[in-house]
Amino acid sequence: MSVEAVMTAKVKSKKLKTEYFAFGFDLALTLTPSILLFSALLLVGCNDQQSSVPPRPQVSMPPEARKAELLNLLERKFENPAAHFELGQMYHAEGLWAKADYRYRVTLGFDPAHAEAKAAMVKLLLDSGDSAKSKIFADNYMIGASSSATQSLRLAMAFHKQKLDEYALDSYQQAFSLAPDSASVNKEMGLYYLDKDDKVLAKEYLIRSFNLDPNQPDVAGELGRLGVEVKIPGRTERTAEESRETPGL
């Protein structure tokens, strides 16, 4: 890469950071056409490699070292929603509300469909004491996903991960109403109720999921632990074949 190209890239990155700090947009307005257009323009040309972040090492890295690693990554390429989100999670855990808020907003600016950032923003507002605004954001996000079972399910799983049970259940039910015959939706609802120790409803949804798609060993395993006997397709045939090949059977 030429010196001129390197300098151009640095100027572009600095300009992006300046625009985000100055912009200060309200996330509740991210559904408006102008901001969606702004986000779409930023996403043009981005690929999976550009949005990736270095994996956490197997040996736990000190938080400050990980922050430095992510900040260095963003210095090279600012438009990386995954890195911004991870930083937001770290600041959130430390109670640094303003820093976490900024990172979540930038994440959603670059990736408006980032369900985990949406759920994290709702949790951040709740944790920082603004429960009314937290509810407004959650409602807006659910409305935004209301035409897509896939987006509703992703949002439900993100709310579930943040332990926002009320919003998680509402989103799961929204996904189910849109796609009642989806094995994935029924599976995740079953796992949600299993996590809440409601074995009756967990069993009901997991059985539905397995009947819709029997090729789910993980669902079969959960049902087995719930005392439900299931038959995985091909298991009998494989067992018989193995028996013919094993002496003495």
Based on its alpha-carbon atoms, the radius of gyration of the chain, rounded to whole angstroms, reads 23
Which pLDDT belongs to residue 57? 57
- What is the crossing angle of helices 183-195 and 165-178, to 10°? 160
| Confidence at residue 59, expressed as pLDDT on a 0 to 100 scale | 57
* CA pair distance 151, 106, nearest whole angstrom: 20
In whole angstroms, how far apart are CA 168 and each of 127, 138, 146, 152? Answer: 17, 10, 14, 9
Alpha helices in the chain (DSSP H): 3-23, 33-43, 48-51, 63-76, 81-93, 97-110, 115-127, 131-144, 149-161, 165-178, 183-195, 199-212, 217-225, 235-245
Q: pLDDT of the chain along its 249 residues, tens only?
A: 444 544 455 545 555 554 444 444 444 434 433 333 334 434 434 444 444 666 665 557 898 999 999 999 999 999 999 999 999 999 999 999 999 999 999 999 999 999 999 999 999 999 999 999 999 999 999 999 999 999 999 999 999 999 999 999 999 999 999 999 999 999 999 999 999 999 999 999 999 999 999 999 999 999 999 999 888 776 543 433 343 444 443
Tell me the pTM.
Answer: 0.73
